[in-house]
Amino acid sequence: MAFRRRNKSYPFFSQEFLIQNHADIVFSLVIFILIGLMFESTSTGCFNKPDYVFCVFLPSFVCLEGEVTTYHYGWKDCATILFYFFITIILHAVVQEYLLDKVNRRLHLSKSKNTKFNESGQLGVFHLVSSVWSFYILITEGYLLHPSSLWENYPHLHLRFQVKFFYLTQLAYWLHALPELYFQKVRKEEIPRQLQYICLYLLHISVAYLLNLSRVGLVLLFLQYVSELGFHIARLLYFTDENHQKMFDLWAVSFVFTRMATLTLMFLAVGFGLARCENQGLDIEMGNFNTLLIRMTVLLVVCLTQSWLLWKFIRFQLRRWREFRHEQAVRKKATAKQPVRQLKRDTFGYHENGVLKAENGVSPRTKKLKSP
């Protein structure tokens, strides 16, 4: 008869209690926030105004262009990001509880590999969804078929629903990754590395959103997410079976291609495309940031980031190559030190395993003459 194992109870507001039940706590906070927003909206008539139809999901300024409703950013985006910040924490806990933990129990990984497996599992799901979502937006908006639309008619102040919603959810996800470092009990050695790429994502997404470079940012995020998806898939396969090494080679090729494509696109769109636009100058009210200083700053930030990523990649590949050569050298020395097996020679042959063997086809035994 099998008994269900009871979870260990912790004191209220202790560290273990918050980590074990953080999804339930966040869900309760979201419910209270929604109830408060509904009471406030019914008292002020927020839901009755046409300009605030999406005041919960997209609380920003609305601009009607014919039959297409477009949006531009405002201070109310902070409330939207906060709302989806809590939603992503809940989704993170769901993926961890119902998908990754079940796989971990079957693999029986060590503590260090378990942490990396959870990280790659969470980021793999996010990069898969984000890459498919961004590719769908690029196809429906026509940015891939018309590359010149990435810089023409700048500033791209008015965004469609799917574009604005994509950027807000991206910011919410990378902001939620900060408290998840505490909830997931990440080791102190891993925190600086994870903080680096979290801050880089937040910086680049925020710059593309606030400087009205949303179209170029969409293409760059798509390339980046596809490359990172290949890396996390390769690492997940490696944890399941250490013989899966070919996926890392494919990821290495895609990583270098992504860096080159990112630099080429940035110089084409920002360095040449925006430099030839007619509306040069700084106009914050119109969302125009097309000045030489801002363009050079954006290019410098992107170039430094891509160069830093390439430098880390080259160092990783060199270290991996040195370890491989060192293992080969150790194996050769081990095989060379093994004693050579010498056989005991006899006059007619040699002994092997206690048995007298013939040499050159001659029998070591003397033939017995038959009696006439």
CA-based end-to-end distance of the chain: 87
Q: Is the CB of residue 252 less than 8 Å from the CB of residue 317?
A: yes
Q: Which letter does DSSP use for residue 100 in this model? A: I
Q: State the Cα–Cα distance between residues 6 and 241, nearest whole angstrom.
A: 33
Question: Is 67 strand, coil or helix?
Answer: coil
Scanning the structure block, which residue is given the tokens 């891993």? 190
Closest CA to 229 of 198, 207, 210, 251: 251
pLDDT attached to residue 137: 94
Domain ranges of the chain: 15-329
What is the reported pLDDT for 28?
A: 57
Both tokens of 354, joined, read 């206690």
Q: Cα–Cα distance between 274 and 56 in angstroms, integer?
A: 35
Whole-number Å distance between alpha carbons of 324 and 305: 29
For 8, phi then psi, to 5°, come to -70, 130
Q: What pLDDT is attached to residue 290?
A: 87
Name the pTM for this structure: 0.75
Q: What is the pLDDT of residue 163?
A: 93
Cis amide bond preceding 155, omega within 30: yes
Per-residue pLDDT 10s for the chain (372 aa) are 444 444 444 444 444 544 555 555 555 565 655 555 544 444 433 333 323 333 334 444 455 445 678 888 888 899 999 999 999 999 998 998 888 888 888 888 777 788 888 889 999 999 999 999 999 999 998 888 888 888 888 888 888 999 999 999 999 999 999 998 888 888 888 889 999 999 999 999 999 999 999 999 999 999 999 999 999 999 998 888 777 778 888 899 999 999 999 999 999 999 888 888 888 888 888 888 888 999 999 999 999 999 999 999 999 888 888 887 877 777 777 777 766 555 445 444 455 555 545 555 555 555 554 444
